[in-house]
Amino acid sequence: MDGALQEYLRARLTRETLEDLLRRGGREDAAVAELTVSPLTAAGENFGSVMAAVEARLRGGDPVRAVAKLLPMAPFLRDSFDCEVTVRKEVAFYRRLAPELRRLRPDLDLFPACLGARTGDGDLVDESAVILLEDLKARGFQTRQRLRGLDLAHAELALTGLGRLHALCVAVKRLRPAVFQDIVTHVAAPFHLGPRGEDDVLLGVDRAVSVLGDIPACAPHTARVRESLRRVLRDIAPPAPREPFSAIVHNDFWTNNMMFRPGAHGRPEEVKIVDFQITLHDSPLKDVLLFLHTSLEVGLRENSQDHLLGVYHHAFTDTLASVGVDAADFSLQALRQELDAVAPGCFAHIFFLHRVIFAEGRPDMATFSIKDFVDSSRLGELYRVRVGQLVGEFVRRGWI
């Protein structure tokens, strides 16, 4: 384990910390006898947090296997992910929204259980902030390779889970509107994402666009891309959520934020959605669009997008009907219209995510800075292919 990361985890995940988290989660008598902590993911796989694997034995013999989510090590990343707000948002997801979703459909197990959480010792998020989650790997769940993307079977299951999650959020909105509005206040609280200084933002845009000139599929459209990025960044206030589709959206639904449990013959049987740090009250089609352009094997979106939209739509409307919500307003045609309406506002988010998802190599997460954010040296041929497909599709559809 890297020395800096080892010290970071050792200082923040002590026996006392784990006992406090478990007690906050309802295990009042938790007393830790043994504790082992190790990194869960490789450098460059998580930017908005540090993920640790926790193995412990309580006095009395009960084992604990969990995942701990901590603040990023680098100050630039903490600031870029607005951790003062987003840590509270994720805790609110598990404490406020998750119980409402489980109340509607207790049989739908779409995300990990939260075993305990704290945002800090006082009113502000501080170094002691930790979210303790169920270890899904202990139940056979696995992540997929972000550079390769998902095959059709995994993509179908991912969109089925996403459609169910969105539908349950819409159901809470329809059936318990006052509760939903309270949830929105906490789970969908406004936040800032990305570099804060205007000079850093413009530098990021210019460096990102400059790479496109060497990519044949993008070169004719660099001016259009630059203007689209700058226009979105100038529009500080997000538009009001559109009805009737508005829901709590994940806002970061790509390969690393879902886990699959394979069945006896290797085909995926169950999906879990993770990382609810930057959720919004917005159009669920933004999650769908981001997923389709970041998380599929090369060529799969082009060949299967209509089919995959149908899979998502079926899961969405079927789940609404199962909890007594009329799905008449949510036809497949209406869903396609919603996708067309929200797509232009999604481009900047998806475009910059490409620089994260399809980057190669491992950056130093302890010292990650604006220099790393604008660095293009880790963007290879895969990035050129992927961003070329993204720009080409958005230009072809008139979305930028």
Q: What is the pLDDT of residues 318-363, one digit of tens each?
A: 999 999 999 999 999 999 999 999 999 999 999 999 999 999 988 8
Q: Per-residue pLDDT for 383 more than 80?
A: yes
Residue 57's pLDDT band (cuts 50, 70, 90): very high
**What is the tens place of the pLDDT at every residue in 100-138?**
999 999 999 999 999 999 998 777 899 999 999 999 999
Query: Is the dihedral angle over the CA atoms 136, 140, 145, 150 positive or is it negative?
Result: negative
**Average pLDDT over all residues of the chain:** 94
Q: What is the pLDDT of residue 235?
A: 59
Phi-psi region of 120 (alpha: psi -120 to 50; beta: other; left: phi over 0): left
- What token pair was written down for 306? 């209509």
Q: How far apart are CA 286 and CA 253, in angstroms?
A: 9
The domain segmentation of the chain, as residue ranges, is 3-396
Give residue 237's pLDDT band: very low, low, confident or very high (50, 70, 90). low
In this prediction, residue 197 has a pLDDT band, given cuts at 50, 70 and 90, of: confident
- Tell me the mean pLDDT in the region 203-214: 93
pLDDT given at position 124? 84
What is the Cα–Cα distance from 255 to 357, expressed in whole angstroms? Answer: 9
Mean per-residue pLDDT, 266-292:
97
Tokens of 321: 């009907």
Residue with the two structure tokens 């329809």? 174
Q: List, for residues 221-233, the tens digit of each pLDDT value.
A: 999 999 999 887 6
Q: Is the pTM of this model over 0.75?
A: yes
Model pLDDT, residue 89: 97
Residue 9 has pLDDT above 70, yes or no: yes
Give the 3-state DSSP-derived string for the chain, with helices as H, strands as E and coil as C: CCHHHHHHHHHHCCHHHHHHHHHHCCCCCCCEEEEEEEECCCCCCCCCCEEEEEEEEECCCCEEEEEEEECCCCHHHHHHCCHHHHHHHHHHHHHHHHHHHHHHCCCCCCCCCEEEEECCCCCCCCCCCEEEEECHHHHCCECCCCCCCECHHHHHHHHHHHHHHHHHHHHHHHHCHHHHHHHHHHHCCCCCCCCCCHHHHHHHHHHHHHHHCCCCCCHHHHHHHHHHHHHHHHCCCCCCCCCCCCEEECCCCCHHHEEEEECCCCCEEEEEECCCCCCEEECCHHHHHHHHHHCECCCHHHHHHHHHHHHHHHHHHHHHHHCCCCCCCCCHHHHHHHHHHHHHHHHHHHHHHHHHHCECCCCCCCCCCHHHHHCCCCECHHHHHHHHHHHHHHHHCCCC
Sign of CA dihedral 177, 182, 188, 189: positive
Q: What phi and psi values does residue 355 have, to the nearest 5 degrees?
A: -70, -20
Stretch among 47-61, 67-81, 196-210 having the lowest mean pLDDT: 196-210
Note the pLDDT of residue 198: 82
- Alpha carbon separation from 126 to 13, 74, 317, 320 (Å, rounded): 14, 14, 41, 39
| pLDDT for res 266 | 84
Answer for the pair 229, 209: CB distance below 8 angstroms, yes or no: yes
From the list 205, 257, 256, the residue with the least C-alpha distance to 231 is 205
Rg (CA), the chain: 21
Residue 366 CA to residue 374 CA, distance in Å, equals 17
Residue 91 pLDDT greater than 90, yes or no:
yes
pLDDT at residue number 121: 75
User: Which residues contact residue 186 at a Cβ distance below 8 angstroms, ignoring those fewer than 6 apart?
Assistant: 88, 89, 92, 96
pLDDT band for 201, please (50, 70, 90 cuts).
Answer: confident
Instruction: Work out the average pLDDT over 180-199.
Output: 93
What is the C-alpha separation between 61 and 31, in angstroms, rounded?
Answer: 10
Average pLDDT over residues 75-83: 95
Strand bridging mode 247-249 / 130-134: unpaired
What would the pLDDT profile of 31-56 be if each residue is shown by its tens digit?
Answer: 999 999 999 988 778 899 999 999 99
What pLDDT, on the 0 to 100 scale, is given for residue 177?
Answer: 98
User: Per-residue pLDDT for 1 more than 60?
Assistant: no
Provide the pLDDT confidence category of residue 2 given band limits of 50, 70 and 90: confident
Task: Say what the pLDDT of residue 173 is.
Answer: 98
The confidence score (pLDDT) of residue 73 equals: 96
Residue 5 sits at the vertex; the CA angle it makes with 133 and 61, to the nearest 5 degrees, is 45
Which has the minimum average pLDDT: 162-166, 180-184, 235-239? 235-239
What confidence score (pLDDT) does residue 236 get? 54
Express as a percent the part of the chain with pLDDT over 70: 98
The span from the first CA to the last CA of the chain, in angstroms, equals 44
Residue 242 has which token pair?
Answer: 């559109």
